Amino acid sequence: MGEKEISKKDYLRRLSSVNDLIQAFYRSRMAGNRSIPRELITEASRAVLEGVREAILAARDEMSLKSINTDTEELVSLVEKEVQERIRPSFRRVVNATGVVVHTNMGRSLLPAPAIEALRNAAAHYSNLELDLETGERGSRQMHLRRILCELTGAESALVVNNNAAAVLLALTAHARDREVIVSRGQLIEIGGSFRLPEVMAQSGARLVEVGTTNKTYLEDYRRAITSETAAIMRAHPSNYRILGFTAEVELKELAGLAHEYGLILLDDLGSGVYPDLSRFGVSREPTIRDSLRDGADLVCFSGDKLLGGPQAGIVLGREELVEAMAGHPLARALRPDKLTVAALEATLRLYLDPERALSEIPTLAMLTADPETLRGRAQRLAERLSSACPDLEIEVTEDVSRAGGGSLPMEDLPTWVVAVNSPRLKVNRLEENLRRCDPPVMGRIKEDRLLLDVRTLRDEELPLVVEAFRSATGAAGNGKGAGGTSKGNPP
Ligand SMILES: *Cc1c(COP(=O)(O)O)cnc(C)c1O
């Protein structure tokens, strides 16, 4: 016991001081990087020394003590790693090889090129965000979006807020506060990221009146629930699930007839808000935004960054006096979109004026409707590059299915091509983890002990990034040591 304490003391004594370590760091490779603040280096050095000190104190025997490297050179490389970690932005690019197009955890929709250009402009320059250039007077940021939204959809009026959750909250607050809203039990949804319809409803001050059962709701159920307190009937798109089997749902048209018979508002929360009919691409027929308006919804709301393929936003369309009441509500000010959203959304919407252009230029739509032969070609190119970069990988190009994601089209199996990878030396979970720690991280999906790279969500320019990540994740780069955590997989 006593001996061990003595040798621990020796180890501790051998550690460099914070100052010596900082000096050593400045003599190291990273020292050329002048942009690293000195304080950060000091903090990193302290953290490293603290970590080593703790490891020494926690060592249970001579063996584990001996395994702790206290050489200054080793400590400097730990400081370098620590500094790397600390200067690396938290929000980073990721390569999405999951095939999930509207991946909520990876930022949902990628913006089309004109929207990216519009974002740049809005960010770099002053703009007429709230300036009427005809009169020189104050205008509304909504004016940039209202006309084109009405033109595209035939709606009387339109309002854009921060996201669809905000749109639902505002609609219910402005039109049903302290009154009743009837919803089918089959539509009391929870969407990922804690959007729960009953809770949003409670927050708005509207009282939820549930009708029907989980699998079946009839028009009569709605009719019986109407009282003098009823403000609205709401339909919510079940987004991320479907009720199958013995089911009954009331058509929107019939709901509209009932609502209008009693002077009630029919609110349709479409969720994804698909604009073009995608059924000719083998995607099942979803009610489009126009269908909903045509079938008589008084207010329709949906997300900007799901199947519409634009920036995060909540779009409300509908009858003018209803939309105006929402726009004038004090809550609208708290939920308004910022100028970057306005710019990117307008640019995205303009693409819809030419439906073919929308399908080819809006990444979300292009990925969803990608031709299987194109996908197959891309998968083959990726497989070839991977096998020449990492010859020990077992690689197969095979068919699989992708998902739309974002709570959109949950039952849809989109036929796709994937590169299925198996490493004889790494367990699949380890491979997945190593790829996740690369820079940029590469995210695939695991299926039956293989890592699948679904090329639906990859662009050709990204293939070299995937290859580089695999080289580093499997140790094919350099001397054959596994090096997941230290990759700089960022080829020219
Ligand atoms: C996604 C979704 C929402 C929430 O939309 P956000 O834009 O993510 O706020 C609300 N309702 C439905 C039906 C949805 O699918």
pLDDT tens across 204-254, in order?
Answer: 999 999 999 888 999 999 999 999 999 999 999 887 667 777 888 899 999
Is the pLDDT reported for residue 3 higher than 60?
Answer: no
> What is the CA(271)–ligand 1 centre distance, in A?
5
Residue 294: per-residue pLDDT: 97
pLDDT for the residue numbered 278: 85
Tell me, what's the pLDDT at 441?
Answer: 97
CA atoms of 188 and 181, how far apart (whole Å):
12
Q: What is the pLDDT of residue 32?
A: 66
Mean pLDDT value across residues 284-293: 88
User: Which pLDDT value is given to residue 35?
Assistant: 78
Residue 33, classed as helix, strand or coil, is coil
- Looking at per-residue pLDDT, the higher value among 216 and 465 belongs to 465
| Inter-CA distances, 65 with 54, 60, 61, 433, Å | 11, 8, 6, 29
Euclidean distance between CA atoms 135 and 137, whole angstroms: 5
Pairing of strands 207-211, 230-236: unpaired
Q: Is 255's pLDDT higher than 70?
A: yes
Q: What is the pTM of this model?
A: 0.89
Q: If you average pLDDT over residues 21-40, what whole number do you get? A: 82
- At residue 322 the predicted structure's pLDDT band, cuts being 50, 70 and 90, is very high
Report the atom number in ligand 1 closest to the C-alpha of 303.
Answer: 7
pLDDT digits (tens, 9 = 90+) for 93-144: 999 999 999 999 999 999 999 999 999 999 999 999 999 999 999 999 999 9
Which domains does the chain show, CATH number per domain? 2-87 (no CATH), 95-101+368-488 (3.90.1150.180), 110-361 (3.40.640.10)
pLDDT of residue 97: 98
> Which residue CA neighbors atom 14 of ligand 1 most closely?
271
pLDDT at 482: 38
pLDDT at site 491: 36
- Best mutation site among 164, 272, 289 for ligand 1, i.e. most ligand atoms within 8 A of its Cβ? 164
Mean per-residue pLDDT of the chain: 91
- Average the pLDDT over 34-48 and give the result: 90
pLDDT of residue 2: 53
Portion of the chain with pLDDT greater than 90, in percent? 74
Give the CB-side neighbour count of residue 291, counting CA atoms within 13 A: 13
164 lines ligand 1 (CB under 6 A): yes
27 or 317, greater pLDDT: 317
Q: Which residues contact 367 (CB under 8 A, 6 or more apart)?
A: 101, 456, 457
33-42, 165-174, 418-427, 439-448 — which is least confidently predicted? 33-42
- Give dist(CA 267, CA 290) in Å, integer: 14
Give every strand in the sheet of 265-271, ordered side by side.
157-161, 314-318, 299-303, 265-271, 230-236, 180-184, 207-211
pLDDT bucket at 6, cuts 50 / 70 / 90: low
Band the pLDDT of 31: cuts 50, 70, 90: low
Task: State yes or no: pLDDT of 181 exceeds 70.
Answer: yes
Atom of ligand 1 lying closest to residue 406 CA: 1
212 burial (CB, 10 Å; 0-12 / 13-18 / 19+) is buried
**Phi–psi pair at 237, nearest 5 degrees:** -65, 130
Whether the CB of 162 sits within 6 Å of ligand 1: no
* pLDDT at 78 exceeding the cut of 70: yes
Using one digit for the tens of pLDDT, what is the confidence trace for 143-162? 999 999 999 999 999 999 99
Q: What is the DSSP letter of 432?
A: H
Question: Which candidate, 312, 391, 338, 326, places its Cα nearest to that of 302?
Answer: 312
Atom of ligand 1 nearest to the CA of 237: 13
In the predicted structure, residue 268 carries a pLDDT above the cut 70: yes
Residue nearest to atom 13 of ligand 1 (CA): 271
Provide the token pair at 211. Answer: 């009708």
pLDDT of residue 480: 39
CA-to-CA distance for 451 and 386, rounded, in angstroms? 13
pLDDT score at 277:
84
Which of 104, 109, 160, 195 to probe ligand 1 with, by most ligand atoms within 8 A of CB?
195
| Max mean pLDDT range (61-75, 122-136, 272-286) | 122-136
Atom from ligand 1 closest to the CA of residue 189? 13
How far is the C-alpha of 250 from the C-alpha of 221, rounded, in Å? 10
- pLDDT for the residue 434: 97
Q: How far is the CA of 6 from the centre of ligand 1 (A)?
A: 63
CA 192 to ligand 1 center in whole angstroms: 9
Confidence of residue 193 (pLDDT cuts 50, 70, 90): low
Higher pLDDT, 419 or 277: 419
Closest residue by Cα to atom 2, ligand 1, is: 271
Atom 15 (ligand 1) nearest CA: 271
**What pLDDT score was predicted for residue 490?**
38
Q: Is the CB of 163 under 6 A from ligand 1?
A: yes
**Does the structure show a pLDDT above 90 at 477?**
no
Mutate to test the pocket of ligand 1, among 200, 235, 303, 306 (most ligand atoms within 8 A of CB): 303
Terminal-to-terminal C-alpha distance of the chain: 56
Instruction: Using the predicted structure, report yes or no on whether residue 484 has a pLDDT greater than 60.
Output: no
Q: Helices 463-474 and 428-436 meet at what angle, rounded to 10? A: 120
Confidence label for 492 from pLDDT (cuts 50, 70 and 90)? very low
For residue 104, give the ligand 1 atom closest to its CA: 8
